[in-house]
Structure 1
Amino acid sequence: MTDAADRTGIDEDASSFRYYRNAVERHWDPAEIDLSADVERVADLDADAFDSLRRTLALFGAGEEAVTEDLSPLAVVLDDVDDQLFVTTQLYEEAKHAEFFHRYWTRVIHAAEDRRGEARSDPRDASWFNDAYDELFERNEAAMERLLTEDTPENRARAYCHYHLTVEGILAQTGYYGVQSSFDGSTPGLPELPGLVEGFSRIRSDEGRHVGFGMRKLKALVAADAVDPSLLHDLTGELAMLVQDAVSAAGREEDEGVTPADLAAYAAEKHAERMNQIVDATADVPDVEALTRLDE
């Protein structure tokens, strides 16, 4: 499959190049985020809240490591230089996200466990994840790897649906919304965690670009009649059910802050919104500034 057989060189007006430039201009370093306040405040969480926070962070950390590993096949098959420029920034950013969650666990979570006299936990322990979460990422990996042997429009659509639209556009964005809403200082009974909120804000901004890239690729495939919209509806509907089950592992209804029911409703809203922007010829994919704005 060829994206740009009739054009060579950088196109500064291409959406992929503009996403690339946005990534360059918004560079950040996970090692520069101050976690000192979080170390003190996480230590004061009660046992249930601390366990919920650990579970949520484990889900995010494992997810970021998985998508860092899974993106490589797309980088191999893309042959448009602007797409390649963008995907190099995405690979770099996914690696930074994985580092942030590793750093938060080893600096903040381990410090809290030490104070509590608990054994240091492992964020990769299988007990943090439910079956739906595991299946979602296994299917994402398979969809991306299929591009290396069968690079067809339908398989590209499946890859974008799994990776950019579902894992990043619905699952991750839903989780970021939940954590930022819970620990921004506005929820009674929960502390403000400025390091965590800053990290999530930075990551969420990065992933706005990632989601926009995938949505534009899907919209172009639909507009060119290269894939039937029913493929996208059927696949994302199926994946949305896994998302609903996966987010149920992030907390309990009785916990302070955003509940699993709130997250499920947010995920459903994001799914409907993204699909309409992709398959409706009169709807636009939000521009890069709207996708990276954090005012939801």
Structure 2
Amino acid sequence: MATEYTPTAMMDRDSRSNRYYRNAVERHWDPGEIDLERDVENLLTYIDGAEAYDQESWYGTLNGIAKFGAGEDAVTEDLAPLGAVLDDIDDQLFLTTQMYEEAKHADFFDRYWREVVWTVEDELGWERSDPRHERWFNEPYIELFDRNRKAQFRLLDDDTPENRAKAYCHYHLTVEGILAQTGYYGMQTSYGGEFEDLPHLPGLVQGFTKIRSDEGRHVGFGMNQLKKLIAEGVDPELIQDTVDELVPLVQGITEDDRFQPDDPEERPGLEDGKLAAYAVEKHTDRMQQITDAAAEIPDVDELVALEDDD
């Protein structure tokens, strides 16, 4: 016997999920419109003027970009199970925008590798590098994304409030809320023109800024979902314990120094410990906002605020 059709409830225009959805629509951007020509010019100038800069040094420059590109590909694929189990129309609306935005992020990094990285390598007569080569991905990176994938696909077989909480903890809180946001901060700062011993890459920074804004909204959605799950009976300690298990993997990724000089004083960019401190601050703030019933999750405009909006 066929299942009887039940019409979906109307949207709740005042819900956080619906406001996040509308915000995503209103802040649309196209990764194909970001100008990348100056990045090519600045990289060639930087490499030409750098002493003892070889292809291994080049891999150090590419390391973070490769990690982000592969990570965006992975999360674009892994978000589908959550979309399959959500039953609230406003949550579904938001998630369609998130899946679309994750695809745009993957598009941006693919374009950057093709139009910037390969162009520079062709100009220098170097062999074109592979953005999916195993050299970029250390064990903590692989383990974190494997765990995230398992947490998402578990929902298809066992969709419980606890498993939903774990899925949000893996994806929205850890991969996006701690790892990605910390990485974007590091890359924007490093290649924003602040350091003379690093190239200024305005196209890359603009892409990071747009993506970081999108993911602020994604993180806010996950935080709100977790706060609702706690109100409905999920133990806050489950959330704390799940994220605590994943944080060491994040640290192992952000502190991946395989392509850096052995002497910390010779490493360009942010001082040692800056990224770790930023990650801890973000993690602490978000856990307090989720688990404290009296604490408010930031409004969507604050979550997506871009530095150049000020």
User: Offset of 1:259 from its aligned partner?
Assistant: 4.7
Aligned residue number for residue 98 of structure 2: 90
Return the letter of the residue paired with 2:276: A
- Shifted more, 48-57 versus 75-84: the winner is 48-57
CA distance in 1, matches of 2:190, 2:248: 24
Render the CA deviation track for 1:121-146: whole Å, top value 9, x for unaligned.
01100111100000000000000000
Distance verdict in 2 for CA 1:278–1:49, change over 3 Å: farther
Aligned residue number for residue 14 of structure 1: 15
Distance verdict in 2 for CA 1:283–1:6, change over 3 Å: farther
Render the CA deviation track for 1:183-223: whole Å, top value 9, x for unaligned.
11122222321101110011001001100000000011112
CA distance in 2, matches of 1:260, 1:100: 29
CA distance in 1, matches of 2:122, 2:105: 25
Indicate the structure (1 or 2) with the bigger Cα radius of gyration: 2
Indicate the percent of aligned positions where both proteins have the same amino acid: 59
Render the CA deviation track for 1:155-181: whole Å, top value 9, x for unaligned.
000000000000000000000000111
Is 1:266 aligned with 2:274? no
CA RMSD of aligned residues (A): 1.8
Aligned residue number for residue 109 of structure 1: 117
Aligned residue number for residue 205 of structure 1: 213
Aligned residue number for residue 34 of structure 2: 33
Return the letter of the residue paired with 1:170: I
CA distance in 2, matches of 1:114, 1:97: 25
CA distance in 2, matches of 1:272, 1:230: 14
Using the size of structure 1 for normalisation, the TM-score is 0.94
Aligned residue number for residue 292 of structure 1: 304
Aligned residue number for residue 64 of structure 2: 56
Residue 255 of structure 1, aligned match among 242, 258, 267: 267
Is 1:178 aligned with 2:179? no
Written as runs of structure 1 = structure 2, the 5 A alignment for 1:36-47 is: 36-43=37-44, 44-45=46-47, 46=50, 47=53
Aligned residue number for residue 237 of structure 1: 244
Q: Is the 8 A contact 2:8 2:89 kept in 1?
A: no
Return the letter of the residue paired with 2:25: V
Equivalenced residues, count: 291
CA distance in 2, matches of 1:267, 1:82: 30
Render the CA deviation track for 1:36-82: whole Å, top value 9, x for unaligned.
00011112234365322211000000000000000000010001110
SS at match of 1:122: coil
CA distance in 1, matches of 2:297, 2:7: 25
User: Offset of 1:89 from its aligned partner?
Assistant: 0.4
Q: Is the 8 A contact 1:247 1:260 kept in 2?
A: no
Gaps of 5+ in 1: none
Distance verdict in 2 for CA 1:49–1:268, change over 3 Å: farther
Aligned residue number for residue 228 of structure 1: 235
CA distance in 2, matches of 1:10, 1:122: 45
Gaps of 5+ in 2: 1-5
Using the size of structure 2 for normalisation, the TM-score is 0.90
Aligned residue number for residue 280 of structure 1: 292
